[in-house]
Amino acid sequence: MSDNETDDELGGQMPLGIGGGHRRNGLNVGAYMPKRSFGLKLLLVCALALVMAIPTMFVWGLVHERSTNADRAVAEVSQARGGQQIVLGPLLVIPYSQTYTDKTPNNSGVMVETQRTRQGQFVVFAKNGAAIADLKTEMLQRGLHRVPVFDVKVDYTASFDLEEAMLNQPRGARFHWEDARIHMGMSDLRGVKDEVVYEVNGQKVSLGPGDNSISNPVADMMAPLKGLLLNESSKFDLTANMHLTGAQRIGFAAFAQNTKINLDGDWTAPSFEGGFLPTDRSFTDAGFSAEWSVPFLARGMVASGGDLNLYALTNSDMGMLLLDETSPYQSVMRALKYAPMFVGLVFLAYFLFEATSAVRAHPAQYVLVGLAQAVFYLLLLGVSEHAGFTIGFFIAATATVAALSLYAGAVFGGREACVNAFIVFTSLYALIYVLMRMEDYALLVGSIASFAAIAFTMWKTRDLDWYGLSAEESK
Q: Which residues contact 305 (CB under 8 A, 6 or more apart)?
A: 122, 123, 168
Q: Positive or negative CA dihedral for 417, 421, 424, 427?
A: negative
Q: Identify the H or E element spanning 33.
A: none
User: In the prediction, which pLDDT does 407 show?
Assistant: 86
For 397, phi then psi, to 5°, come to -70, -40
Which H helix or E strand runs over 396?
helix 389-411
Q: Which of 403, 378, 380 shows the shortest CA–CA distance to 392?
A: 380
Residue closest to 249 by CA, chosen among 84, 77, 73: 84
pLDDT for 354: 78
Would you tell me how many other CB atoms lie within 10 Å of the CB of residue 275? 19
Are 128 and 256 in contact, with CB atoms under 8 Å apart?
yes
Report whether 91 contacts 214 (CB < 8 A).
yes
Judge whether 379 and 399 are in contact, CB under 8 Å: yes
Q: pTM above the 0.75 mark?
A: no
CB atoms within 10 A of CB 443: 12
130-179 per-position pLDDT tens digit? 999 999 998 887 767 778 889 999 999 999 999 988 888 888 889 999 99
What SS3 class is residue 202? coil
Q: Write out residues in the chain with pLDDT < 50, as ranges.
A: 1-34, 472-475
Domain 83-322 has CATH 1.10.10: no
Q: Return the closest-CA partner of residue 125 out of 316, 275, 262, 313.
A: 313
Q: pLDDT value at position 27?
A: 44
Q: Which of 324, 331, 439, 312 is nearest to 389 (CA)?
A: 331
Confidence (pLDDT) at 10: 40
Spatial CA neighbour of 170 closest among 117, 127, 132: 117
Per-residue DSSP letter, 217: T
SS3 assignment, position 301: coil
Domain limits, CATH 2.60.40, in the chain: 83-322
Question: Please, which residues have CB within 8 angstroms of residue 10's CB and are 6 or more apart in sequence?
Answer: 40, 41, 44, 362, 363
SS3 state of residue 471: helix
Inter-residue contact 245 to 140 (CB < 8 Å): no
Neighbours of 291 (CB within 10 A): 15
Pairing state between β 85-105 and 27-28: unpaired
Task: Write out the DSSP string of 239-268.
Answer: EEEEEEEEESEEEE---EEEEEEEEEE--S
Question: Could you give the CA distance from residue 206 to residue 294 in angstroms, rounded to a whole number?
Answer: 28
> What is the C-alpha to C-alpha distance for residues 145 and 257, in angstroms, rounded to an integer?
41
Radius of gyration of the chain (CA): 36
Identify the CA nearest to 373 among candidates 408, 409, 407, 397: 397
Q: Which residues of 157-169 are buried (b: 16+ CB within 10 A; e: fewer)?
A: bbbbbbeebbeeb
Nearest-angstrom CA–CA distance, 273 and 270: 10
Do the beta carbons of residue 416 and residue 356 sit within 8 Å?
no
C-beta neighbour count of 349 within 10 angstroms: 22
